[in-house]
Each structure stands twice: as structure tokens, then as C-alpha cells.
Amino acid sequence: MSSESIRSQPAGTVVEGDPYRLDPAAVKEPPTTWLKSVKFFGPGLIVSASIVGAGELITATALGAQAGFILLWLVIFSTLVKVAVQVEMARYSIVTGQGGMEGYAKVPPRFGKIGWVFIMWALLALAKLIQTGGLIGGMAAALSILFPIGSGPLEATSVSIWAVVVTIIAIISLYSNRYTLIERVAVFLTMTFVAVTLVIALGLPLTEYAYTGADLASGLSLQLPVGAIGVAIAMFGLTGIGSEEITAYTYWCLEKGYARWAGPNDGSVDYKRRVKGWTAVMQRDAVASWVIYTISTMSFYIMGAAVLHPQGLVPQGNDMILVLSETYSSTLGDWGRILFLVGALAVLGSTIWAGIASWSRSWANALSILGVFDWTNATKRNNWMRFFIVALPILWLLTFLWISAPFIMILIGGIAGGIFLAGVGVAAWYLRRKEVPADLRGGKFSSVALSVSVIAILLLGVYSATSATGLFSIG
């Protein structure tokens, strides 16, 4: 296909050909405004679907229940500060046409074909087998509350049956491995849970759990009581974009077409203009994603602060879903309970949907780096991704049926993710300096933002590692 014919296609067309191969004939001029860029959004919406899951539904609500409105501002800070690392990893992918795993393998010190960040990812991936099993369990729990099968709500038989059903549906629906399908379903689920959480959060002032403008103002006053430091650290680690979403974002940017449309680096002025243009589109996509998952996370936090905190309730795990659904039922009637559970299903379902597709790419890329297959062979690459689309959900299901404790499973993955996020931050800094030409790195703002982000993430990683081993903790 010629360069001219590609440029003449409708603006919303997804990339043609292999998105992991930079072809001079596939270049496309980037849009220059926000309005025109919206047509090319997508990677961030998939990431939003992955981010807003059990971590937000359960953890953000529990943190609001524990701390009240006082730490609402921290939701904004904890989600925003990590975006700089996300953007820099995606910039690396647009410039090189390589995914995050290939970048991690380059960070020294290296051991043969891989670097220490790659090894950290491998350890994270094993821990995430446990966490993502908890996500399947969480969705099965919500379904068992709505439609109990074989036993009462949240009883073992009902939850186990629904866990199997969720796994089968996920595998069948994702097996085609088409980017357009993944993006469209992720967008639908994301818009669903955003709408539901906003309706519930904004509707609370009309109920007995009303909150006021003064409550919101107190939550945005940048206060950090000494007794809430531990909660604040937990919120920073468990809300917003995590290490696995940052990794996945590099692949979604490639599959959307940002790198292929920029083309291979021929050193020309036109190439640099295209790279900067598509990087700007990516940055707008990342900002839009941040707005979406921050609003949803704030909504969950407000639910906990307004509904549970005054009652002194801080339910854990699936009990959070049950308590809130029963609370809304008693306050708003059965429609309130159903509305909340629909939102919960959209949240958990979107995380599973996007998570399976994301992990299939990083696992497949990891094997290619180890020499199992040639990543540039599109057929083999797609077959290995499909293998993991089938294998990973089955492993997640088995871990859930074995452990059957979603909250603990999610916590294990969260701790591992917090530690690995430090490695991702270092990788982003290294790759920006070594793999991205100086004139394509962005200005001083990008450098300062990345520095602040990496420092904050490193501190979180140190805390996560020491608290996990019992060496240090803050109450």
C-alpha cells in the first residue's frame, strides 16, 4: 500500500499491516489539535479499563472508609505523578517500535540477553498470577450476589461456578486477539463504570449519606494527618497506573499505530516531525486516560468516605461489594443495589478483559527475548499471544479456586507491583537517555516531571519492599 493511499484514508482508521514493523510506506501525518487527536485515542482507554478494577473498587473505597474525606486530594496526586513514567516508556516505543519488555531487557546490569528490570518483571508476573486470580474471584462474587447458582450469595459453590463461567467467556471473547475488538469492548466497559460511579457518587447528597461542599473542600486541602500516613502510602501504591499497565501501554500504542505511522528513523526532518506529532497524540491520550480513571477512583473513595466512614465500617475484600450493595438497597431501593452491582461488574470485567490481553503481549514478548521464537514473525507472535490468552485465565482461575481469598490475592500482587514500579521508573529514565535521541525527548517539563515521578516511585518501592519483609512500616 502506498504512502499516498494511506494518507487518504479516513482519520479514524486503525493502522494497516504489522504494527510492530516500521515501514516507510505506512507513515501518516499526525493530527495537530486535541479535537483531531481524539479520533486516534484508544491505548489509554484500554489502560483505563485495566486500571479501574478491584484495586479501586475495593481498596480506594476501603481507604475512604478508613480516612474519610481528608485524603481525597491524594487520589489526584497518586494517579497523576506516575503518568510521566507511562509517557516516557510510550515515547521509547514510538521512537524504536519496540515494546516495554524489550526496553527492560536493555537496562544494565545485564545477564546475557536480559537485564535486572526484566528479571523483576518475571518475579512480578508470578505474583500477578495470584492477584489476577483474585480479580476473577471478585467478579464471580459480584455475579453470585446478583444471580446465585447452586448455593447462596458469596457461598463457595456459587462463586466457584461463576469463576469458571467468567474464565470461559473471557477466553472465547478474546481469542481472536484483534486490537479493534479489544479497544471497543474496553471503551464500552470503561464508559459504563464511569457513568455508574458518577451517578452513585453524585447522587449520595440526596440520600441519608449526604456529603457537602465543605467535605469535598476539606478533602482537597492538602492535609496529611500523622495517623493517616500509612493509609496515604497505601493509596499511592494501589491507585492509578501501575507497573503492568505502563508495560501494556507500550504495546497498545504500537498496535494503535503511533510508531508505524511515525515510520523508521531515517534522520530526516519529516521523521522527527512525525515522531513529535504522534508522541503528542499519545500524551493527549494518556491525559484523557488519567482523567477517566481518576474520576472513577475519586468516586469510589467518596463512596467509602460518605457511606462507610461515618458508620465506622471498613469491610475487606468481597465483603466490600456485599456491604455497599446492601447499603444502597436499603437507601435507594433495589435499583440502587442493582446499579452498584452493574458498575462493579463493569469495573471487574474491564480489568479482566484488558488484563488478559495485556499480559498475553508481555509474556509472549518475554519468550521471544529469551529466544523461544522470532518476534518479527507476525504469525508466530499472534499464535503465542493467543496461547497466553487461553493459558493465563486458566492459571488465574486455578489460583483462585486453590486460595479462594480475593482480597489477600489482590494485596500480594499490589505489593509486588509497587516494588516492580520502581524498576519501571529506572527503566524509563535509562531508556530516555540511551535510546531516544536528545531532540525527541521533550522539553524541561518532561525531564522534571519524570524526575519527580521516579523519585516518588522509588520511595514507594523501598517502602513496599521493607514493609513486605516486616523491616519497616508506618501505622
Instruction: Using pLDDT thresholds of 50, 70 and 90, give the confidence band for residue 1.
Output: very low
- Residues 392, 359 contacting (CB under 8 angstroms): yes
The more confidently predicted of residues 198 and 257 is 257
pLDDT above 80 (res 226): no
**Phi-psi bin for 112: left (phi > 0), alpha (psi -120 to 50), beta?**
left
What's the burial of 344, exposed, middle or buried (CB within 10 Å: 0-12/13-18/19+)? Answer: buried
In angstroms, rounded to a whole number, what is the distance separating the alpha carbons of residues 12 and 233? Answer: 41
What pLDDT is stored for residue 124 in this prediction? 82
34-257+266-468 is classed CATH 1.10.4160.10: yes
What pLDDT is stored for residue 427 in this prediction? 95
**Phi-psi bin for 265: left (phi > 0), alpha (psi -120 to 50), beta?**
beta
What pLDDT is stored for residue 351 in this prediction? 84
Q: Which of 463, 46, 401 is nearest to 246 (CA)?
A: 46
In angstroms, rounded to a whole number, what is the distance separating the alpha carbons of residues 401 and 152? Answer: 18
Over residues 289-325, the pLDDT tens digits come to 999 999 988 988 898 898 888 888 777 666 777 777 7
The answer to whether the Cα torsion of 141, 147, 151, 152 is positive or negative is: positive
Over residues 410-439, the pLDDT tens digits come to 566 666 777 788 889 999 999 999 999 999
Q: Give the E-state strand segments of 355-440 in sequence order.
A: none
What pLDDT is stored for residue 230 in this prediction? 66
Here the cell at position 150 is: 447452586
In angstroms, rounded to a whole number, what is the distance separating the alpha carbons of residues 401 and 129? Answer: 12
pLDDT above 90 (res 146): no
When pLDDT is averaged across residues 43-60 and rounded to a whole number, the result is 80
For residue 91, how many C-alpha atoms fall within 13 Å in the half-sphere facing its CB?
A: 32
What pLDDT is stored for residue 461 in this prediction? 66
Query: How many degrees, rounded to 5, is the angle at CA 471 between CA 467 and CA 474?
Result: 50
Q: Give the E-state strand segments of 213-255 in sequence order.
A: none
When pLDDT is averaged across residues 350-369 and rounded to a whole number, the result is 93
What pLDDT is stored for residue 8 in this prediction? 37
Here the cell at position 301 is: 473513595
In angstroms, rounded to a whole number, what is the distance separating the alpha carbons of residues 408 and 400? Answer: 11
What pLDDT is stored for residue 10 in this prediction? 38
List residues bridging with 110 in a β-sheet: 115
Distances (CA, A) of 452 to 38, 83, 255, 449, 458: 28, 11, 29, 5, 10
Q: Return the H-helix or E-strand segment holding 150.
A: none
Of all residues in the chain, what percent carry a pLDDT higher than 90? Answer: 40
What pLDDT is stored for residue 52 in this prediction? 77
Single-letter code of the amino acid located at 464: S
Here the cell at position 36 is: 483531531
When pLDDT is averaged across residues 166-190 and rounded to a whole number, the result is 91
Q: Which of 410, 49, 448, 352 is nearest to 234 (CA)?
A: 410
Q: Can you give 25-40 as a three-state secondary structure string?
A: HHCCCCCCCHHHHHHH
Distances (CA, A) of 389 to 32, 131, 134, 370: 36, 17, 17, 20
- Residues 296, 132 contacting (CB under 8 angstroms): no
What pLDDT is stored for residue 400 in this prediction? 82
Q: What is the pTM of this model?
A: 0.89
What pLDDT is stored for residue 257 in this prediction? 94
Q: Which of 93, 385, 102, 103 is nearest to 260 (CA)?
A: 93
Instruction: Using pLDDT thresholds of 50, 70 and 90, give the confidence band for residue 50.
Output: confident
- Residues 241, 86 contacting (CB under 8 angstroms): yes
Distances (CA, A) of 447 to 241, 367, 466: 19, 32, 29
Over residues 149-172, the pLDDT tens digits come to 888 777 888 988 999 999 999 999
Here the cell at position 349 is: 470485567
pLDDT above 70 (res 3): no
Instruction: Using pLDDT thresholds of 50, 70 and 90, give the confidence band for residue 227.
Output: low
The structural domains of the chain, with segments of one domain joined by +, span 34-257+266-468
Highest mean pLDDT pick, 29-33, 200-204, 333-337 = 29-33
Of all residues in the chain, what percent carry a pLDDT higher than 70? Answer: 86
Q: Which of 27, 24, 43, 20 is nearest to 98 (CA)?
A: 20
